[in-house]
Structure 1
Amino acid sequence: MTAGRRIRAVVIDLDDTLLSAYRRPDLAWRSVCQVYQTELGDLAPDVAARALTEAGRAFWSDPDSHAVGRADPKQARRVIAAKAFEALRRDSSPTVSPEIAERIADAFSLHRDRQMRLEPKADAVLVQLRDAGYRLALLTNGAGPLQRAKIERFGLASRFHHIQIEGEVGVGKPDPGAFRRVFAALNVDPPEVCVVGDSLEWDIRPAKALGCFTILYDPEAGQAVGRGFGDAHVVTRTLASLAPHLQERSSPPGRMDRAGRRSRRAD
């Protein structure tokens, strides 16, 4: 339990937490299909977008596909597009050639990359938490080169005491071993850790099971904001509210040295 322990460290997810990366695939597919309206021929862009969205949902909900896909998202989207247009073909709907399907999938990947951005206040919040004395770790799944490129692109590397990427260490969320590896690197116990992420399955539930304090980041949350939702202790729509939630949980930590030990204050 974290009730009697001061929060000393914050472990934060990358995609769709610090970065706006993969939300609303339906809107992204629709945007791409509208651009490719001529290539779609008799197939309405909205029909194609719905089929692509459904195929994507089925692909990412399968644990085996998810494991392969997060290592190579571009190839995963090609598979998704092929499955979507094959499903339309089986339903006797107008469809497109495999070449066009692949071009649409690659356009989707490019669209996602161009639209990717830091969440509002993300960098300022990281600076604020570090200045307050919290140990910070970035814990993300995916391939090392892909995730490192995002980290460098948005200048995040210097904000963290520890960065852990599934593809680099061989273990990822929701495996408890991934979290324990981070705790060891930060020299903290689970009750001293707040885990922040956008997924109940990948971030919140495994962290809470280990005894961490958890904050679900959901910018589209409704009345659940500020209260537990599912297994999360707190739900927030903004990253700017992280520090206040941590302060409510316990007194702010004192400064810590590089080894993660809290410095003593001369009173």
Structure 2
Amino acid sequence: MSEIRAITFDLDGTMLDRRATFEVFARSQIIRFARFFTDVDHDLFFDRVVELDRDGSTSKERVFAGPAEDFGLPAEAVTALPADFRDRFPLECVAFPGLDDALSRLNRAGYRLAVITNGGVRIQQRKIDVMGIEPAFDYIAISESEGVRKPDPEIFRRTLERLDVSPEEAVHVGDHPGADVAGAKAAGLRAIWHRGPRFDAAPGADAEITSITQVPEVVTRLGAGT
């Protein structure tokens, strides 16, 4: 087994706490659009949109349109709330506790680091900027600019070429069993699954973590072949 020289990271659900971020955003949105909610129970509306969001797996039009109608919000809300999400959500980013320390430890250990994330450049880059993590990384691959999305192995291979390492020398960290674990394995990388609330298992993962703070130790263990 080759020594690990590079680590690639998914963004949403791996470094960015997607659920906590959406909850912060949803609370602040109700305050920003108070004119829509004068006769609405704020907590009930909040609970409904958080439930429908499903950690980002549901379109935002669907997340907001149903509750807007059910709670009797003005027609304007059906378009205004999803548009506000696209503008404001990246500004509310909440990182998982211990992320900065974990990245610092990996930087000090000399690993090459990259982000591999699906999504639009504008939104994903804003998240990274708000989190303040770009200096820790040698390369950032966003699917829109790369022209290919996870789980396509090409986005992993292209990123490793930028890092000048082989797939056998790299490990990917992500929360999605398909996009992250299966995609990385298909490209020849090892894969660490960040277990979260959305999925019960990630077949094929080489290791499992429940906190981003575990990455340095797990990478060391995988590199040692234990």
Deviation at 1:48, TM superposition (A): 4.3
2:19 equivalent to 1:23: yes
User: What CA distance in whole angstroms lies between the structure 1 residues aligned with 2:2 and 2:81?
Assistant: 51
Question: Residues 32 and 104 of structure 1 are in contact (CA less than 8 Å); yes or no, is this contact kept in structure 2?
Answer: no
Tell me the TM-score normalized by structure 2: 0.77
Aligned residues: 223
Question: Residues 93 and 130 of structure 2 are in contact (CA less than 8 Å); yes or no, is this contact kept in structure 1?
Answer: no
User: What CA distance in whole angstroms lies between the structure 1 residues aligned with 2:116 and 2:145?
Assistant: 11
2:221 equivalent to 1:244: no
**Cα 1:157/1:33, change in 2 over 3 Å:** closer
2:60 equivalent to 1:77: yes
Paired position in structure 1 for 2:75? 98
**Cα 1:229/1:60, change in 2 over 3 Å:** closer
User: What CA distance in whole angstroms lies between the structure 1 residues aligned with 2:150 and 2:89?
Assistant: 23
Question: Residues 98 and 213 of structure 2 are in contact (CA less than 8 Å); yes or no, is this contact kept in structure 1?
Answer: yes
Question: Residues 77 and 105 of structure 1 are in contact (CA less than 8 Å); yes or no, is this contact kept in structure 2?
Answer: yes
SS state at 2:115 partner:
strand
Structure index of larger Rg: 1
Paired position in structure 2 for 1:60? 57
Question: Residues 144 and 167 of structure 1 are in contact (CA less than 8 Å); yes or no, is this contact kept in structure 2?
Answer: yes
2:155 equivalent to 1:178: yes
**Cα 1:249/1:32, change in 2 over 3 Å:** same
SS state at 2:168 partner:
helix
Paired position in structure 1 for 2:141? 164
Per-residue CA deviations over 1:2-23 (Å, capped at 9, x if unaligned) read: xx22212101112222222x22
2:168 equivalent to 1:191: yes
2:96 equivalent to 1:123: no
Percentage identity across paired residues of the two chains: 27
Paired position in structure 2 for 1:150? 127
Structure 1: give runs of 5+ residues left out of the alignment: 62-75, 89-93, 253-267
User: What CA distance in whole angstroms lies between the structure 1 residues aligned with 2:192 and 2:121?
Assistant: 25
Question: Residues 149 and 155 of structure 2 are in contact (CA less than 8 Å); yes or no, is this contact kept in structure 1?
Answer: yes
Tell me how large the CA RMSD over aligned residues is: 3.5
Alignment of 1:22-41 (within 5 A): 22-23=18-19, 27=23, 31=27, 39-40=36-37
Paired position in structure 2 for 1:8? 5
**Cα 1:54/1:168, change in 2 over 3 Å:** same
User: What CA distance in whole angstroms lies between the structure 1 residues aligned with 2:118 and 2:63?
Assistant: 20
Question: Residues 147 and 165 of structure 1 are in contact (CA less than 8 Å); yes or no, is this contact kept in structure 2?
Answer: yes
